[in-house]
Amino acid sequence: MTTTVTTAQTGPLTANGVTPLPFTFQSISIAEIGVTRNGVVQVGGYTVTRNADGTGSVTPTTSWGSDTIIIYSAPTYQQPTGFNKFGAFYPDQFNAPIDRIARSVLALKSSTVSLPPGTSRINKIAGWDAGGNPTSYPSSGITGTPGPTGDGVSTFSALAGVNGADGDAAFLTEGLRGGTFVYRAGNYTSLVTADPLQGIYVATTADPTGALGAWVRQVDEDIKPQWYGTLGNGTTDDTATLQAAIDANPGKAILLTKGSYRITVSIKINSRVTLDFEPGATLLLATQNMNGIEIGNGTEAVRNATFGTVINNPSFNPAAGVAASTTGSCLYRNYVAFCDVNNMQVFGRDGVTTKLFNGVYDYRATECDTQNMVVQYVLNNGVHCKGDGTTPGRTVDCNYDNARITDVGANGIFIDEGCAGLGFYRPIVYGVGAGGWGIRMNCTPGPNGQNFFIDTPDMEKGIFLERGQKAMVHGGWIGASMGLGLHIGAGADGCDVSCSFTQSKVLIEGSHNTISGGEIVGDSATAGADGLTIAGANTTIAAGVKIRQWLGNGIAWGAVKPTGVLIGALNYTNNGTDIAPVTGFTLANGPVIAQGNTDKGRTGTAAATLALPITVPFMQVTGATAITTIPLRGVGSRVTLQAGTGGISLATGGNLILPATPLAITAFNTVSLLSDGSNWFFDGKSF
């Protein structure tokens, strides 16, 4: 079938009862035929007869009287035909999809409206004429002539001076506040009252409360604070106008276009909104110790009202000349839930001087996510989380993903009292001040101080788990330049750390903690430096860790000896001593040191005190000097000595408990000894 027509509709036609009405366009199938009756699309109520050339007729099943009818083609805009490379091709295989394409083009062409010429649309309002066709009207009004001139109204006061009729339109030309307004009759009192800066609702001078109606801005996009008088020029105080835009539009999306918005008082969000910052839009904090944006006010009512608030791409800077702050935060979430922030940026310097205090401060926040945050140059913490010490008032189940924090005065991330269930994924922290930490946890252990998840950290200052329970640190890298890369304090328990520490010492003081996997690497240069120190940390487990390049001890013991320590499956390389001597322990509290791997030699020379590294379970010994002492290791530890050429002898007088003294071991035979933490007991021989 060929396409010989140039339209995909027939009409308007005048109906005649139930008389068939012909259509002259070419269709693909009966299913694509549609009908409008007096402008209303018909669903059923007619039958279609289709001819071989695609034309046909429509017959009403009940009388259409003399109504106006249009018959049109409504193709599905689909291509169900598929070609393959096998077999012969026939004309119909090509004609059908080509016909379908042609019908679709005609249908689109028939449904397209033509706008008036461009020269007649300049500074005009688009509308529809009496025949339903597009046209343009003077910007002063579609009906009525609400503007004082034919070129629209230039000020809000001029617009308020016009008493419109319902449906009248006016174009306001007042700078950034301009736009199209339509007069709507009805009681607009509450909306006018909530919009004192007339961003969207403008009451007339004759009816200032809006009781009879108001001019209403036509909005088909995000709310713009410029409608309320915001300038974003970096010098004008935009606080009041920004606040007005937020207060007047609960539940709506508000867009800050590119510009520098100077504020002198915190912007407060007390009802749900979506606040979007365009690239280049920045809040300038112009008062010392202020917060930038506050979500919530600490009350239950506002907590419920702000549920679901989202802020996208916020940016914070100090205004020029503002004094350095000693309190305040760029973002302050105060007793809120499910309030998320995405792609936040803080640059706290005015020139070369740091002025802003905290990046994010979350107080009693629940299920709030912060994604992709950059905080640079603040005087205190990049992120500070805190609760009030009660379960309802804790900061709980909040996530902080991809936080990049540099050049902070205190801590990159501070987990304070009253927090639980917080997650920090891929935190990067560099440039922390003296005495600060990349991450510091300091909260009372229990329901309001537990379950923290730190995944793949990357930081040059370490992690201080000072107090709290069940902090999990997995993956990542810490390089503390021979300072503490990890400090598990006496008030922390149940923590599990698996991380790579480069030139970073590890100190464990709290009980029931585990360090597993990863590595602890020294600098091969600092004399006496120890890698892992276990001090009073009862039931500590160290397993599967690589410890290397420490000129002191790979593992050292603190002055307060821990009980119930288990060390196993560690790998020791290039250490002065793999594990410090196990002295000062008793049978009840000595550590258990299981099999590991070391680069220490497995051959030695007999001496009164045998130089047997703690990490070596087997040694071949040569020499005639009687051995009376072997360095102690954990309770239950076993060592096997093999006599070299000429044999060896063991004797009492040190820490050896033997069945006979001296005990001679002939060449290449072995003797096994078992430790109770204080002495070595004979445990068998091979001869």
Task: Give the DSSP letter string of 378-441.
Answer: ESS-SEEEE--SSSTTSEES-EEEEEEEEEESS-SEEE-SSEEEEEEES-EEEEEPTT--SEEE
Instruction: Let me know whether 287 and 262 are in one domain.
Output: yes
Predicted structure pTM score: 0.76
- Examine residue 486 and state whether it is found in any structural domain, yes or no: no
Instruction: Let me know whether 99 and 123 are in one domain.
Output: no
Domains held by the chain: number? 4
Give me the percent of the chain exceeding a pLDDT of 90: 72
User: In the structure, how many helices (H) and strands (E) does the chain have?
Assistant: 5, 60
- Ramachandran region, residue 678 (left: φ > 0; alpha: ψ -120 to 50; beta: rest): alpha
At which of 61, 94, 111 does a domain end? 111
Instruction: Let me know whether 236 and 189 are in one domain.
Output: no
Instruction: Let me know whether 153 and 281 are in one domain.
Output: no
Instruction: Let me know whether 270 and 167 are in one domain.
Output: no
8 Å CB contact between 329 and 295: no
- Examine residue 520 and state whether it is found in any structural domain, yes or no: no
Instruction: Let me know whether 56 and 172 are in one domain.
Output: no
For 116-168, the DSSP string reads PPGGGTTTEEEEE-TTS-EEEEETT-SSS--SSSTT-B-SHHHHHT--PPTT-
Q: What was the pLDDT predicted at 126?
A: 67
Ranges of H-type helices in 284-364: 300-305
Instruction: Let me know whether 313 and 292 are in one domain.
Output: yes
Q: For residue 148, what are the CA distances in angstroms to 141, 162, 173?
A: 10, 8, 13
pLDDT in tens, 277-297: 999 999 999 999 999 999 999
Provide mean pLDDT across the span 422-432: 97
- Examine residue 433 and state whether it is found in any structural domain, yes or no: no
Q: What was the pLDDT predicted at 86?
A: 55
At which of 89, 111, 133 does a domain end? 111
Q: What was the pLDDT predicted at 74?
A: 80
Q: What was the pLDDT predicted at 109?
A: 58
Q: How confident is the model at residue 100 (pLDDT cuts 50, 70, 90)?
A: low
CATH number of residue 667's parent domain: 2.60.120
CA dist 20 and 22 (Å) reads: 7
Secondary structure string (H, E, C) spanning 30-76? HHHEEEEECCEECCCCEEEEECCCCCEEEEECCCCCCCEEEEEECCC
- Examine residue 525 and state whether it is found in any structural domain, yes or no: no
Nearest to 230, CA basis, from 157, 152, 177: 177
For residue 337, the surrounding DSSP H or E stretch is none
Q: What was the pLDDT predicted at 141?
A: 42
- Examine residue 523 and state whether it is found in any structural domain, yes or no: no
Q: Chain-wide mean pLDDT for the chain?
A: 90
Instruction: Let me know whether 81 and 184 are in one domain.
Output: no
Nearest to 67, CA basis, from 37, 36, 42: 37
Of 124-128, 203-207, 302-306, 384-388, give the lowest mean pLDDT range: 124-128
pLDDT in tens, 249-263: 999 999 999 999 999
Instruction: Let me know whether 236 and 192 are in one domain.
Output: no
In the numeric block, which tokens belong to residue 293? 């944006």
Residue 675's contacts (CB-CB under 8 Å, 6 or more residues apart) are: 632, 633, 634, 635, 636, 637, 638, 639, 681
pLDDT at 240 over 90: yes
For residue 192, the surrounding DSSP H or E stretch is helix 189-193
At which of 344, 364, 380 does a domain end? 380
- Examine residue 298 and state whether it is found in any structural domain, yes or no: yes
Instruction: Let me know whether 245 and 205 are in one domain.
Output: no
Instruction: Let me know whether 288 and 376 are in one domain.
Output: yes
Q: CA gyration radius for the chain?
A: 41
- Examine residue 524 and state whether it is found in any structural domain, yes or no: no
CA dist 642 and 622 (Å) reads: 9
pLDDT at 679 over 50: yes
Q: What was the pLDDT predicted at 146?
A: 40
For 339-360, the DSSP string reads -EEEEEEEE-EETTEE---EEE
Which domain, by its residues, includes 279?
Answer: 232-380
The DSSP code for 173 is: -
Angle at 512 between CA 460 and CA 473, to 5 degrees: 30
pLDDT at 144 over 70: no
Helix/strand/coil percent split, the chain, to 5: 10, 40, 50
- Examine residue 240 and state whether it is found in any structural domain, yes or no: yes
pLDDT in tens, 362-378: 999 999 999 999 999 99
pLDDT in tens, 566-603: 998 899 999 999 999 888 877 677 888 887 889 998 89
Instruction: Let me know whether 190 and 262 are in one domain.
Output: no
- Ramachandran region, residue 490 (left: φ > 0; alpha: ψ -120 to 50; beta: rest): alpha
Identify which has the larger pLDDT, 477 or 391: 477
pLDDT at 143 over 50: no
Of 47-51, 102-106, 386-390, give the lowest mean pLDDT range: 102-106
Q: For residue 87, what are the CA distances in angstroms to 83, 84, 90, 98?
A: 10, 8, 10, 20
